[in-house]
Amino acid sequence: MSHKPVLPGQVTPNGQLATLGVMGGGQLGRMFVQAAQAMGYFTAVLDPDPASPAGLVCHYHIQTPYEDEQGLAQLMQRCEAITTEFENVPAPALMTLAAHRPVAPGAQAVAIAQDRIAEKAHFAACAQAGGVGPAPYAVIETAAQLQAVPESLLPGILKTARLGYDGKGQARVASRAELAAAWAQMGQVPCVLEQRLALKDELSVIVARGADGQMVHFPPQRNIHRDGILAVTEVFDGHLPTALAQQAIAATQAIAEQLHYVGVLCVEYFVIDDGSPQGALVVNEMAPRPHNSGHYTLNACDVSQFELQVRAMAGLPLVAPRQHSPAVMLNLLGDLWFDADGRGRTLDWPAILALPGTHLHLYGKLSARPGRKMGHLNITGATAQQVRATAQQAAEILGIAPWA
Binding-site residue numbers for ATP are 116, 159, 164-170, 194-197, 202, 225, 284-285
Measured between alpha carbons, how far is 103 from 83 in angstroms, rounded to an integer? 6
* Burial (CB count <10 Å: 0-12, 13-18, 19+), residue 401: exposed
Residues contributing to the annotated binding site: 116, 159, 164-170, 194-197, 202, 225, 284-285
Measured between alpha carbons, how far is 352 from 371 in angstroms, rounded to an integer? 21
End-to-end CA distance of the chain: 46
CB 53 within 8 A of CB 322: no
Question: How many CA atoms lie less than 13 Å away from 375 in the CB half-sphere?
Answer: 17
Measured between alpha carbons, how far is 228 from 269 in angstroms, rounded to an integer? 14
Instruction: Say how many residues make up the chain.
Output: 404
Measured between alpha carbons, how far is 356 from 303 in angstroms, rounded to an integer? 22
CA dihedral over 278, 283, 284, 287, signed as positive or negative: positive
